[in-house]
Amino acid sequence: MANAIEATGLVKRYGEVQALDGLSFSVPEGVVFGLLGPNGAGKSTTVKILTTLSRANEGEARVGGHDVVADAEKVRHLIGVVAQKSGLDPEATGRENARLQGQIYGMVGRELEERIDELLARFGLADAGDRLVRGYSGGMQRRLDIALALVHRPRVLFMDEPTTGLDPEVRASMWQEISRLAREEGLTVLLTTHYMEEADELTSRLVILDRGRIVAEGTPEELKGELRGDAVHVELGKPEANGRVQKALDEVPGIREATVDGRLLHARADNGARAVPAVLQALESNAIEVAAVTVARPSLEDVYLRYAGRTFSEADTEKEDNR
């Protein structure tokens, strides 16, 4: 099967900041592919390069077989883009927004109006279509963003953090909509997210980005499968030095990959439930106070920790700047 997207050695610098550091990946046709990473990992930059908005300093990319720089015009006709930031005109109605979008792609008349009706109905905006977008709720705007991206029936859909900032209920219905799109329309979808559960739920294949590099690639199951055993998270009474805690845990059989950031201790165990009493005992005998303990099956969050060497939320707050 042909690849819908191919990126080779993408490098992007903003002044001193290295946003992408030699990124390569390919996306087969017809799948939902995820770019997962914290803020500042380079997800949006990648999407901007692939959607012809921005240019890489080095490397090349092809979408639908066309080079994003040399054949930008062809690429633009093939793709639909749902940007991280909503791109709607608040002073126009939903229908007017969609109509202009269609006109840009050369659609006119009945064909266009019918397509707009179909999309408005499908995204639950049939009644709101003739109202000004200014009055739309956040969820409605997001749905209209997606409808706009689909007006011209693109083959590849880019969605940059489509559910960021939506409340959980709206997010859940958005997930349903996205998986339906991929299933029913045979679209290739490239989705970026910094929600682990979103990547887990929606994507059939993903790469994990950290600081402009790919740190892991595979299906969600493969990635989680590479982690042996359960995650053990311990909240300590007060911040502790890494070395002291690790020394204490050295004595505990079946505990691996223990790391401490501040008050949080993360470790892996073949059998989490059985390891907990031994962990607690070892910490206590070394006079390390424990506030809470949880045991979890491996998640993508753990995968990120394993490959990027830091927790996801830590990386997320470390770099608020969201390129």
Of 65, 90, 135, 186, which lies in the binding site for another protein, with binding defined by CB under 8 A?
Answer: 90
Beta carbons within 10 angstroms of residue 228's beta carbon: 11
Of 55, 180, 244, 274, which lies in the binding site for another protein, with binding defined by CB under 8 A?
Answer: 55
Instruction: Tell me: does residue 18 bind another protein (CB under 8 A).
Output: no
55 vs 247 by CB, closer to another protein? 55
Of 18, 26, 86, 164, which lies in the binding site for another protein, with binding defined by CB under 8 A?
Answer: 86
52 vs 311 by CB, closer to another protein? 52
Whether the CB-CB separation of 94 and 128 falls below 8 Å is answered with yes
Instruction: Tell me: does residue 273 bind another protein (CB under 8 A).
Output: no
If DSSP codes are grouped into helix, strand and coil, which group holds residue 228?
Answer: coil
Helix axes 138-150, 109-122, angle to 10 degrees: 140
46 vs 299 by CB, closer to another protein? 46
**In this structure, what DSSP letter does residue 132 have?**
B
59 vs 87 by CB, closer to another protein? 87
112 vs 267 by CB, closer to another protein? 112
Q: Whose CA is closest to 140, among 152, 154, 129?
A: 129
Distance CA 171, CA 120 (A): 18
Q: Whose CA is closest to 291, among 265, 267, 252?
A: 265
163 vs 311 by CB, closer to another protein? 163
Alpha helices in the chain (DSSP H): 43-50, 72-78, 94-104, 109-122, 138-150, 168-185, 196-202, 220-225, 242-250, 272-285, 300-308, 312-318
Binding mask 225-264 for another protein (x = CB under 8 A): ----------------------------------------
Instruction: Tell me: does residue 73 bind another protein (CB under 8 A).
Output: yes
Q: Which stretch binds another protein (CB under 8 A): 104-112, 232-240, 271-279, 307-315?
A: 104-112
Residues making contact with another protein (CB under 8 A): 14, 48, 51-55, 73, 76-77, 79, 81, 83, 85-92, 96, 100-101, 103-106, 132, 148
